[in-house]
Amino acid sequence: MRPVSGATFPTRFECWAELLFAAVALRSPWRQRYLKAAPLRKRDALPEEGIRSTLQALDLAASYHLKPMTCLERSAAGQRILRRRGVPAELRLGVRHWGTGSLEAHAWIEINGKPLYGLALGFSALERRGHGSLAGIRLLSDCKMALPNDGSETDGDCVVLMGRPPDAGAEDWQPLPEPPSGGQAWVRKDGRSLALEEGPREGETLAALLRWAVPFASALQRRVILHASAVSRGGRAWAFLGESGAGKSTLAHAFSQRGWVSVADDLLPCRLDQNPGTAAREEEVVVLSAHGRLGLRAIFFLERTNASAAPRAERLAPAEGLRLLLHHGFGELGNEQMWRSQFEFYGVLVERVPTHRLEVPDDPNRISDVLTLLQEHLRP
C-alpha cells in the first residue's frame, strides 16, 4: 500500500529532489559534507503535525523514485529537509548485535535526542540502547552514531564511512571482495576505517555489509575473529567451528536452552590476555563478549555424519587443529599482514587450547545426544 501525505505539492517535489540529490551526493567525494548536519534555519520550527506530514511526503517520494531508497538516503534527505524548516533533526546510524549473533544496522533521524518512531519512514527497528559494537570492534559512524554505555566489551575502534571513500583509489584503501549481500566495502590498511556503499536492495544490506567487513578490519588491527558460535558458563567459554550448515548456531542455541549463555552465534573475537588469577599472570586465550572476557577452554570442529551414527568427540593433534583453524579462517582478503597475524595467533591458540573433532548426526532430533556427550568436555 502506498503511503499518503497531507503535504503540499512543492513539499513533495522538494522531497523527491532531495532524495535524488542524496543518492548522488552519498556516492560522490562530497559525501561526508552532505552527511554533516545542514545549517538550522532560524524560523519557528514546524509543529509535530507538520513534521509528520513532511516525513510522509518523503516516504511517498521514496516510493515513486528512480531506485529503491535506502534508510541512509531517506534519513539524510529527511534531516536536511527538516532543518530547512527549523527542526533540529540529526542523522544517526545504529548497529545492534543481538546476543544470538544477528545484526541490525539502520539509519534514522532524531529530534532533540528523541528517535522518530512509528512515523511513515518506518524507523522502528533500532533503539538507542542497542550495542554499538560487533565482534569486539566498536563502530563509530560518521553519521554521529549514539554509542551506548552498556558495559559491552570492545577491543578496538573503527570509523564506518557511509558510501564510497573519497580517495577510494588511493593505496591506503583496499576494496574488499564482493560482499554476498550486494553493495561494496573498502577497508583502510590499518583497519581503523571501513567504507560501505549499500546496494540497490532494500532491507538488511547495511547490516550484512558490516558483518562482512568487520572481520577484515579486526584482523588488520591484529585481532582475530573466529567464524564460530560459543557458549559460556562460570566465566569460561567453548567454541564451535564448522562449515556453513554444520550446526554451530543450532548447538549454541540448544545449550542456551539448558541454561548456558550463548556468547556468539557467528563471529567470535579472541585475543591473548594475562590471566589475573594466576601468580605469574600467564597469558591465556580469551574471547570478548558482552559478558566480559571469558577464558577459552576448548574448540570443537563440527562435522556432519550419518543421521543414525552416534555423536563422537575426538581430541586433535595441535597441528591438525591449526590446519582446521586455517581452513575455517577469514582468508578472503588475501592480505599478507592479515595472514601473518592470524597464523601467529592460531599457533599459540592450539598450544594452549585443546581442539576436538565433533561428529554430529545429521538429525536435529538427536541434538540432545550431542549435548549429553559434550557435558563431559564442557566443565568450567
Partner 1 sequence: MPVTVEIPEHVMEKRLEDTTVLLSVRTGFYYTLNATGGRMWELLREGRSPAEVVATVARESGEVPDRVEADLSKLVSDLETEGLVRLR
* Nearest alpha-carbon partner for 195 in 210, 205, 182, 185: 185
Q: Indicate the residue among 4 and 317 with the shorter CB distance to partner 1.
A: 317
Q: Which of 340, 364, 368, 380 binds partner 1 (CB under 8 A)?
A: 340
Q: Does 339 bind partner 1 (CB under 8 A)?
A: yes
Q: Indicate the residue among 7 and 324 with the shorter CB distance to partner 1.
A: 324
Q: Does 326 bind partner 1 (CB under 8 A)?
A: yes
3-state secondary structure of 137: strand
Candidates 22-30, 138-146, 245-253, 343-351 — which segment interacts with partner 1 by CB under 8 A? 343-351
Q: Indicate the residue among 121 and 350 with the shorter CB distance to partner 1.
A: 350
Q: How far is the CB of 4 from partner 1 (least distance, A)?
A: 55
Candidates 65-73, 86-94, 281-289, 330-338 — which segment interacts with partner 1 by CB under 8 A? 330-338
Q: Which of 82, 224, 322, 378 binds partner 1 (CB under 8 A)?
A: 322
Q: Does 334 bind partner 1 (CB under 8 A)?
A: yes
Looking at residues 52 to 71 of the shown chain, list those that interact with partner 1 (rule: CB under 8 A). none
3-state secondary structure of 222: coil
* Nearest alpha-carbon partner for 190 in 208, 217, 164, 169: 217
Q: What is the DSSP string of 44-95?
A: PPPPHHHHHHHHHHHHHHHHTSSSPPPHHHHHHHHHHHHHHTT--EEEEEEE
Candidates 84-92, 222-230, 320-328, 371-379 — which segment interacts with partner 1 by CB under 8 A? 320-328
Q: Does 351 bind partner 1 (CB under 8 A)?
A: yes
Question: Do residues 110 and 90 make contact, with C-beta atoms less than 8 angstroms apart?
Answer: yes
Rounded to whole angstroms, the Cα distance separating 32 from 34 reads 5
Q: How far is the CB of 229 from partner 1 (least distance, A)?
A: 24
Q: Does 174 bind partner 1 (CB under 8 A)?
A: no
Q: Indicate the residue among 251 and 333 with the shorter CB distance to partner 1.
A: 333
Burial of 312 (0-12, 13-18, 19+ CB in 10 A): middle
Q: Which of 149, 336, 365, 375 binds partner 1 (CB under 8 A)?
A: 336
Q: Which of 236, 291, 323, 366 binds partner 1 (CB under 8 A)?
A: 323
Burial of 160 (0-12, 13-18, 19+ CB in 10 A): buried
Amino acid occupying residue 377: H
Q: Indicate the residue among 320 and 369 with the shorter CB distance to partner 1.
A: 320
Copy the grid coordinates of residue 379: 566443565
Q: Indicate the residue among 202 and 351 with the shorter CB distance to partner 1.
A: 351
CA 289 to chain centre: 13
Q: Indicate the residue among 21 and 343 with the shorter CB distance to partner 1.
A: 343
Residue 306 CB coordination number (10 Å):
10
Number of residues that bind partner 1 (CB under 8 A): 16
Rounded to whole angstroms, the Cα distance separating 337 from 335 reads 6
Rounded to whole angstroms, the Cα distance separating 5 from 300 reads 56
Q: How far is the CB of 136 from partner 1 (least distance, A)?
A: 23
Q: Which of 319, 368, 372, 379 binds partner 1 (CB under 8 A)?
A: 319
**CB environment 323-347: b (16+ within 10 A), e (fewer):** ebbeebbbeebebeebbebbeebbe
Q: Indicate the residue among 21 and 339 with the shorter CB distance to partner 1.
A: 339
**Which H or E run contains 207?**
helix 205-220
Candidates 31-39, 139-147, 190-198, 336-344 — which segment interacts with partner 1 by CB under 8 A? 336-344
**Which residues in this chain contact partner 1 in the complex, by CB under 8 A?**
317-319, 322-323, 326, 331, 334, 336, 339-340, 343-344, 347, 350-351
